[in-house]
Structure 1
Amino acid sequence: MGQIKKEGTSWYFVAELGIDPLTGKRKRKKKRGFKTKKDAEKALAIIEAEVYKGVYFEPSTILFKDHLLEWFKIKRNSINFQTADTYQSFIVNRIVPSLGTIALSALSPLNLQSYVNTLKEEGLASSTVKKIYNIIKGALDYALNMELLHSNPIKKVQLPKDKKKEMSVWSVEEIKSFLTIAKKDRLYMAFHLAITTGMRRGEILGLRWKDIDFDRGILYVRQTLSKDGKQFLVGAKTESGVRSIKLPNETVSALLAQKKSICNDKQSLVNDYVDHDLVVCTSKGTPMNPNNLKRTYLKLIKEANVQEIRFHDLRHTHATMLLAQGISAKVISERLGHSNIKTTLDTYSHVLPNMQEEAANQIDTLLTATK
């Protein structure tokens, strides 16, 4: 049985934890600092109940930063190097400075909620806050599995929500104006693919000729170029990102023209050409630096006199254009490599009201024809 005793103006308890199997000695836990006898009795009762059920374990004294870094050593083996770099940056620059010196067992929903609120007050985007939240959650889930915690305190934290930003896309007229100007540039194929296939930038810059089936008019996304342009990554951003995309005839023709242009580069440079089998590359065959692609893209936007949108918005333009033409969201989801159709519907919900109106008009047309 445990004991409750007074010490000066406060109370403490001594709990019996049973026999240590390694030493054969009786284990006890002493905790001080309770303001009233009732508080001490309540805390003792909780521990005694856990001991009786066989679920009690000593709270870890390890600091959160030490546990976090230990978890990251394991985690980085299951994620690609770009994601690992992002995780490390958030851990070193954001999480450890604020939460690192708190004991793992002392983390609570209250101090974690305060931390998340601070991140938002500093102006971080909700998506960035969520990434940091997920890192902490992953580390605490691991602590739970290792029986260092009773529960994961961050699961009770409320994440901030931003109003959905209005998506920037080009109209069909703007697409035509831009492509007309871009056609003169050697990087035209990158912009053409972004608009006609919805591929991500890294997917376009990692695309190889062997990934294209010209007979069937199908392109396969099997490789991407890293954000810094220094490394090829097998697969795509997600599992569902490894996919096939049916190509329009115009895109097949543009690809054949691109292949002919690259063959000319090879012949003119001979031994100086470094062949990576890339569809979009430098004049020497080496991978195209994403920043150089961006510079060219912005320059062409000014020349075409169209609204400035991000390169990634060409992907949104592709999806919006297809939805407006009544193409199934399921088909668009597959072209974009989304993990499920819900992602597609949530991302492009702004287009759906127009589609609803069109659906109603089609019903009217059918019923009128029937009458």
Structure 2
Amino acid sequence: MAAYLTYWLENVAVHHLRETTHTRYTACVHRYLIRGLGKKKLTKLTAKDVRTWLNQLRTTCQCCERGIDTARDEARCCAVGQCCRKLLSPLTLTYIHSVLKSALEHAVREEEIPRNVARNVRTGTPRPRRFEPLTADEARQFLTAAGGHRLHTLFELALHTGLRKGELLGLRWGDLDLDRGTAAIRRTLQRTAAGGLTTLPTKTRASERRIALPTRCLQSLKLHHEQQQREREAAGTTWQHSGHVFTTVQGTPIDPTNLTRAFTTTLRRAGLRRIRFHDLRHSTATLLLEQGVELVVIKELLGHAHIGVTATVYAHVRLRLQRDAIDTLGIALHGPAITETAIGDGDEPPPCAALVR
């Protein structure tokens, strides 16, 4: 298994995966798969072997297993006999299982094994990762705090369009049609282990799309272009033209880590709770759903490959909108007396679907 997994990474996966994905696959293979199944014969691997290993992995403290505490300057838990029980999350276990399935699937194609035994093992469906989108009031508060920042236009565009961080940083002036009010999303900017800051194709084929830009963002982009021209004149010969919409004061692309740092600082200045930059994308979709925008429109805007992805991620919002809808129907059928009862309860906010529409 160890030999085959190494071969699969170096000769197969490297040609079919994005560099960042291949880096995660490599870490997963060396950290978990080879350590747990590396000595097994590929042709003799059974579903029972995979299930037994996954069950053991589920209950093993990773701090003990990988010597995390031992590597510290001063041990404070597992190395001194006080196990911290650092267990893998269900989401991580599912990811490890999926990498193993991908590797064995190729072994089936090359007729190394007759069937993919990992497919016969069920790990269960993990709960989707929770996210904390901004409310409409918090979004306005955030934009107000970002007003004086040189990347105010980027933050505004992120909230209005739901673009990913890499898509925003990879945006070039040639991708924008400010007269027609559209933007072509063709690439993403990411930091990779081999090439540093690198421009890559979009996450999926569906992610390559053309979106409409709000009037407010068009005005901000024009002002941002003027600001960039002033920065270019101030930089003089040190300016490095990259063609990107959002750059440093020297014209170079912005490192995603630095953008995250600026975003966190802006949140703190606005007095808001700490969230991920990606939660701006979730905020856009949530606010659009609450305004009654159809799911298929949101799917196209976000660049999801399938509408099922959009429906699954924002199921909690749709459930709340269903509650609002049936409460509104109750008002229509039984009169406003029900509204007073619902408001007086205090446990649920008053029905608001009709007002939002």
SS in 2 for 1:244: strand
The one-letter code sitting in structure 2 at the alignment partner of 1:185 is H
Indicate the residue corresponding to 1:188 in structure 2.
152
In structure 2, the partner of 1:57 is: none
- Residue 186 of structure 2 aligns with an amino acid whose one-letter code is R
* Residue 40 (structure 2) pairs with residue 102 (structure 1): yes
Q: Is the 8 A contact 2:94 2:126 kept in 1?
A: no
Task: Select which of 53, 58, 67 maps to 2:4.
Answer: 67
Corresponding residue to 2:131 among 155, 167, 170 = 167
8 Å CA contact retained: 1:221, 1:235? no
Aligned to 1:271: 237
Letter in 1 for 2:104: L
SS class of match (2:247):
coil
User: CA separation in 2, counterparts of 1:360 and 1:166?
Assistant: 26
Q: 2:57 aligned with 1:91, yes or no?
A: no
Q: Which range moved further: 283-292 or 327-336? A: 283-292
CA deviations over 1:77-133 (Å, ceiling 9, x no partner): 121211111111111222111111111022111111122223333422333323322
Aligned residues: 306
Q: Does 1:254 align with 2:192?
A: no
Distance 1:102 1:313, change over 3 A: same
CA distance in 1, matches of 2:204, 2:8: 22
Partner of 2:183: 219
Match of 1:113 among 44, 51, 71: 51
SS in structure 1 opposite 2:127?
Answer: coil
Tell me how far apart the structure 1 counterparts of residues 169 and 93 of structure 2 sit (CA, whole Å).
29
Partner residue in 1 for 2:16 = 78
Q: 2:209, 2:303 within 8 Å by CA — same for their partners in 1? A: yes
Instruction: Return the offset for 1:253.
Output: 0.9
Deviation (angstroms), 1:260: 0.8
Equivalent residues of 1:195, 1:318 under 8 A apart = yes
Distance 2:41 2:298 in 1: 47
Report the CA distance between 1:361 and its aligned residue. Answer: 5.7
Out of 133, 137, 148, the position equivalent to 2:97 is 133
Checking the alignment, whether the CA contact within 8 Å between 1:235 and 1:241 is kept in structure 2 is no
Instruction: Tell me which residue corresponds to 1:320.
Output: 286
* Distance in 2 (alpha carbons) for counterparts of 1:129 and 1:190: 35
CA distance in 1, matches of 2:14, 2:136: 43
Partner SS state of residue 86, structure 1: helix
Amino acid across the alignment from 1:281: T
Report the Cα distance in structure 1 between the residues aligned to 2:333 and 2:181, rounded to whole angstroms: 39
Q: Structure 2: any 5+ residue segments left out of the alignment?
A: 62-86, 335-357
Question: Is the Cα contact below 8 Å between 2:190 and 2:200 reproduced in 1?
Answer: no
Q: Check whether the contact 1:223–1:232 (CA below 8 A) recurs between aligned residues.
A: no
Q: Secondary structure at the match of 1:219?
A: strand
CA contact (8 A) 2:239 2:250 kept: yes
Which secondary structure state, in structure 2, belongs to the residue aligned with residue 167 of structure 1?
A: coil
Contact 1:202 1:227 in 2 (8 A): no
Q: 1:336 to 1:118 in 2, by over 3 A?
A: farther
Q: CA deviation at 1:365?
A: 8.0
Distance in 2 (CA, whole Å) between partners of 1:120 and 1:108 is 19
SS at match of 1:292: helix
Identify if the C-alpha distance between structure 1 residues 128 and 227 changes in structure 2 by more than 3 Å, giving closer, same or farther: farther
The structural deviation recorded for 1:366 is: 8.0
1:341 equivalenced with 2:307 (yes/no): yes
Unpaired segments of 5 or more residues in structure 1? 1-63
Matched position secondary structure for 2:28 = helix
Letter matched to residue 54 of structure 2: V
Query: How many angstroms does 1:363 deviate by?
Result: 5.5
Superposed CA offset, 1:170-204 (max 9, x none): 11111111111111111222221221110111111
Partner residue in 2 for 1:4: none
The separation in 1 between residues aligned to 2:138 and 2:218, in whole angstroms, is 22
Quote the offset at 1:165 in angstroms: 4.5
